[in-house]
Amino acid sequence: MRRTARGHYRPPPLWRQLLGQLRGRDQMLVRGPETWPLLLLSFPRGHDDIATQLRDAWLNTLPLLRAPVVDPYRRMLAELPSMVVVLLDPRNICTCLGHFHPPGSESRLARRLRADTGGNLGELDLAWENIRDWRPHPLSSLAATTDAAGFSRLHFRAALLTVLLHELDHLAHPDHKEQTVRHSSDAFYTAVLDELLREEGSGSYGMSASA
Ligand SMILES: [Zn+2]
Ligand SMILES: [Zn+2]
């Protein structure tokens, strides 16, 4: 998912892969409702906090969203492979927020898992610092002046979920155009952030006036 809508995927340069292996990576398995794919989060050692935040957004935020917000993705979730590898890294050199990995471009981890399990499997990557910096909504810069810390926290949860679902949508529907996928995910982000802000009782952010 690019900051502006246009799709592509470039596999990470070899040196980054090697560095990742040197530093070591940890994995976290996240099991949600039965019809959702099993997520295997892979992240650089020492970044359990990011994996935990993504797990909490997936298990605690997504199932509790109002039906009109989550319904556009409900069928898509059921159509996904039974397991999806999510590679988490701080940043992408190309500055994209994430990519889905078409068959043939998956990591060694995903290829290994597919060979070992014989199951159907997908893979995507997310760049969490690029996602944290992302400000898709024109009102968000104004809103941030009210309570920067609180806003940043809720923005990050909404944005992590949004980019994850955007890339999952690509995995489920490789034939769908970026514009279509992006339209759904931009609407999702606005609705989720609005809902999270309401939950916190902060009507002062003005997010309901969605542009
Ligand atoms: Zn996309
Ligand atoms: Zn990119």
d(CA 164, CA 176): 16
- pLDDT > 90? residue 179: yes
pLDDT exceeds cutoff 90 at 203: no
- Distance, in Å, from the CA atom of 166 to the CA atom of 100, rounded to the nearest integer, reads 9
d(C-alpha 44, C-alpha 9), whole Å: 21
Q: What is the pLDDT of residue 13?
A: 61
Measured between alpha carbons, how far is 37 from 121 in angstroms, rounded to an integer? Answer: 9
pLDDT value of residue 21: 62
pLDDT at 41 over 50: yes
Supply the pLDDT for residue 208: 41
Question: Is the confidence at residue 138, as pLDDT, over 70?
Answer: no
Give the per-residue pLDDT at 68. 94
- Strands of 38-44's sheet, edge to edge? 25-30, 38-44, 83-89, 121-127, 98-100
Ligand nearest to the CA of residue 100, numbered in listed order: 1
Q: How far is the CA of 99 from the centre of ligand 2 (A)?
A: 6
Answer yes or no: is pLDDT of 54 > 80. Answer: yes
The alpha carbon of 166 and the centre of ligand 1 are apart by a number of angstroms equal to 6
- Is pLDDT of 78 > 80? yes
pTM for this structure? 0.85
Residue 43, SS3 per DSSP: strand
Token pair of 23 as six digits: 């530093």
> CA separation (Å) from 191 to 2, 112, 117, 202?
20, 37, 37, 15
Q: How far lies 90's CA from each of 78, 100, 161, 172, 177, in Å?
A: 29, 16, 16, 25, 27
> How far is ligand 1, taken at its centre, from the CA of residue 19, in Å?
27
Mean pLDDT score across all residues of the chain: 85
pLDDT value at residue 71: 93
Residue 54 · residue 160 · CB < 8 Å: yes
Q: How far is the CA of 146 from the centre of ligand 1 (A)?
A: 31
